[in-house]
């Protein structure tokens, strides 16, 4: 059981870490998710495709009409979650297949050293530093991909459970 002293210390620490307080800090923090584009809205056509699959129709109804009924809202939530997950998977695959520009840069530097008779030792440190920064950047993006993919999976699971619960309560089984 947590002691009263520990609870008081936790509450005091929580008051210290409340996020940015100035308008400049809030503006900067608001742009954090847009920096990498992993949380942007999925394409409308992908959303409509998922709506057609979920509602089992050939034409997706207008989004405005969907928001007026519980069935429409649940279907829209599920379609958004599926589309977000699809976008995350496509982005991960696209980034995995992209050639790494840093290695081409290293080759060019080595060619320059040979051509201009620079000693390789003169550029080894900057090259290693740049490569380390690049690897850290790749690792950071991989962590962000994993985080947003997990969030997308959780959102899809919640939306799917809500959709199934609605179907079970509102559709009568045909005997």
Q: Return the pLDDT at 41.
A: 78
Position 103 in a domain: yes
Question: How confident is the model over 108-139, as pLDDT tens digits?
Answer: 666 666 666 666 666 667 767 777 787 787 78
Between CA 151 and CA 164 the distance in angstroms is 20
Position 81 in a domain: yes
Flag whether pLDDT at 154 surpasses 60: yes
Counting the structural domains of the chain, the total is 1
Q: Return the pLDDT at 131.
A: 74
**pTM value surpassing 0.85:** no
CB 66 within 8 A of CB 72: yes
Flag whether pLDDT at 35 surpasses 80: no
Q: Return the pLDDT at 8.
A: 92
Position 93 in a domain: yes
Position 8 in a domain: no
Q: How much is the average pLDDT of 142-171?
A: 87
Instruction: State which residues form the domain around 145.
Output: 40-170
**Better-predicted residue by pLDDT, 25 or 40:** 25
Distance of CA 149 to the CA centre of its chain: 6
Position 67 in a domain: yes
- At 101, the pLDDT band (50, 70, 90 cuts) reads low
Q: Which residues contact 88 (CB under 8 A, 6 or more apart)?
A: 38, 145, 148, 149, 152
Q: Count how many residues are written for the chain.
A: 175
Flag whether pLDDT at 59 surpasses 60: yes
Q: How much is the average pLDDT of 52-68?
A: 80
Q: How much is the average pLDDT of 39-45?
A: 81
Flag whether pLDDT at 98 surpasses 60: no
Position 3 in a domain: no
Between CA 40 and CA 33 the distance in angstroms is 8
Position 2 in a domain: no
CB 88 within 8 A of CB 145: yes
């Amino acid at each position: 059981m947590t002691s009263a002293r520990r609870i008081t210390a936790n509450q005091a620490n929580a008051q210290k870490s409340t996020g940015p307080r100035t308008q400049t800090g809030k503006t900067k923090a608001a742009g954090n998710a847009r920096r990498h584009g992993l949380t942007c809205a999925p394409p409308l056509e992908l959303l409509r495709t998922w709506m057609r699959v979920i509602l089992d129709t050939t034409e997706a109804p207008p989004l405005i009409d969907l928001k007026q009924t519980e069935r429409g809202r649940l279907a829209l939530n599920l379609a958004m979650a599926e589309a977000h997950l699809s976008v995350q998977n496509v982005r991960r695959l696209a980034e995995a297949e992209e050639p790494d520009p840093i290695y081409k840069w290293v080759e060019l530097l080595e060619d320059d050293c040979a051509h201009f008779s620079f000693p390789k030792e003169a550029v080894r440190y900057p090259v290693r530093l740049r490569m380390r920064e690049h690897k850290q950047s790749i690792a950071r993006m991989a962590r962000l991909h994993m985080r947003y993919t997990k969030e997308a999976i959780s959102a899809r699971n919640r939306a799917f459970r809500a959709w199934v619960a609605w179907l079970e309560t509102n559709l009568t089984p045909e005997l």
